Structure 1
Amino acid sequence: MTAGKRSWGAGIWFSQATPKFAFMAWITMKDRLATMDRVFGWCQGVDTTCVLCNNAPESRNHLFFDCSFSSQLWEHLTRGFLHSSFSTNWDAVVRLIIAPGMEKQKRLCLRYAFQTTLYKLWRERNKRRHGERALPLQVLSKLTDKAIHNKLSLLQSKRVKGHILQYCFSTRL
């Protein structure tokens, strides 16, 4: 990441974040996940192929969001409110979550979608890596969408951030 070491902190540590999602995002931002490119450095001879797409070596940047599987999930969740800013490039996505001047509802939706997507993709990756049954993209997409909507619904019921749920629904393609 080309931005300053701590400049992404506000994009991760915000009051409405779910702690386990924020922690996962923090580890991911620091590039400390045991992705296969890193594991290969510790243990030569391991298969570094991405288990989500089976087409490329697994790295943080590939897994989030260069991979054809993860990019489709990310697009489903964010294309509707990012429009021409939409990207599947890791550095571009990080720049978006820390960009100043973004409308508050959009920023919250983006940051929460980012964290939830990282968490859900990493869990799916680990399940597959350890031989568990793979979830189809459509199922993972619905589960991720539901997690985001549940959180936004909770925030709205607590009267945090106005009509955030309506905003999120209105941006769906």
Structure 2
Amino acid sequence: MKIQDGCSVRFWTDLWHPKGRLIDLAGEIETQKLGIGMSARICDVFVDGEWRFRRCRDHFLQDLVHDIRELPLILTANVSDGVLWRDGDDTYSSRFNSKNTWSNIRKKKDQVMWSRLIWFQQGVPRFAFITWLAWGHAQYCLYCGEQDETRDHLFFACPYTFTLWLKVAGNLFGMDPDPDWDTTITRLLTGHYDRLTFILLRLVLQVTIYYIWRERNERLHNHVSKPVEHIARLVDKTVRNRIMSTCYYLRPRLQGLMQRWFGAHDT
């Protein structure tokens, strides 16, 4: 908070002190020892250039009061308080920036090598999310009855899902698709593909995973199952719809995208 006249900033509950909200530091019970009500504003506590605190013997509160007194503060009459948004570690701005805010609140980790297989411009967010999502439960495979349904089994060691993967991947890899997950990812990351093929490989991978997961949930919750051919048609239609939505025919870098998809499935 940017304090001006102090009339709209709550002493206990607003975030105006560098150490955080004072109520979180002191606790509700301790507020009574300083004689400051929960609804008190800065202008109620800081009067004529001085903080008005009740004397107390609590060592923690004494340290807190000392920290508050050390913070330079001058109230400016008839100037409204403002909100500041954190841009960096020690910088603040009156303008909200969603990118900076997200960067400040998220937990930062090293970028994984397979991130470009998940997030790319021609992808679809819901497919990317399902591809990225990890699940930690263990149960039997709803497709083939295998004892442990792991990621590696579901994509694509299971006979059902591998049959689907064979149908929809076509000749995009330049060789027969492999049922092993690690091998598939390695081929995607290290293979030398032209731009259009690499877009299609990532897209069809995500769409396939999405429909495998959706079909799995249908079998689990609704006890309804579909044949591989039906899922393959859904994947094909979804990929073609996504290709059309990119207006590939108007964009030089994407021209030939639909033709490459059709060419990968010529029999």
TM-score tier, shorter chain, comes to 0.7 to 0.9
Q: CA deviation at 1:23?
A: 1.2
For 1:17, the equivalent position in structure 2 comes to 123
Are positions 1:80 and 2:171 aligned together?
yes
Aligned length: 155
Deviations 1:90-149 (A, max 9, x none): 011111222363211110110000000111100100110113311111111111111011
List runs of 5+ in structure 1 lacking aligned partners: 41-47
For 1:134, the equivalent position in structure 2 comes to 225
Instruction: Give me the identity figure in percent.
Output: 28
Paired AA for residue 52 in structure 1: Y
Q: 2-side partners of 1:138 and 1:85: how far apart?
A: 19
Q: CA deviation at 1:56?
A: 4.3
Q: 1-side partners of 2:176 and 2:112: how far apart?
A: 23
Instruction: Show the 5 A alignment for 1:70-149.
Output: 70-84=161-175, 86-99=177-190, 101-149=192-240
For 2:254, the equivalent position in structure 1 comes to 161
Runs of 4+ residues over 4 Å off in structure 1: none
Q: 2-side partners of 1:100 and 1:87: how far apart?
A: 14
Q: 1-side partners of 2:245 and 2:222: how far apart?
A: 34
For 1:66, the equivalent position in structure 2 comes to 157
Paired AA for residue 123 in structure 1: R
Larger radius of gyration: 2
For 2:102, the equivalent position in structure 1 comes to none
Are positions 1:171 and 2:254 aligned together?
no
Compare 84-93 and 13-22 and name the one that shifted more.
84-93
Deviations 1:68-104 (A, max 9, x none): 0100111101132223252111011111222363211
TM-score with structure 2 setting the length: 0.54
Q: 1-side partners of 2:117 and 2:250: how far apart?
A: 22
Is the 8 Å Cα contact of residues 243 and 258 (structure 2) preserved in structure 1?
yes
Q: 1-side partners of 2:183 and 2:191: how far apart?
A: 14
TM-score with structure 1 setting the length: 0.82
List runs of 5+ in structure 2 lacking aligned partners: 1-109
Change (3 A) 1:116 1:169: same
Q: 1-side partners of 2:191 and 2:171: how far apart?
A: 20
For 1:39, the equivalent position in structure 2 comes to 137
The answer to which structure, 1 or 2, has the higher relative contact order (CA under 8 A, 6+ apart) is 1
Q: 1-side partners of 2:165 and 2:207: how far apart?
A: 10
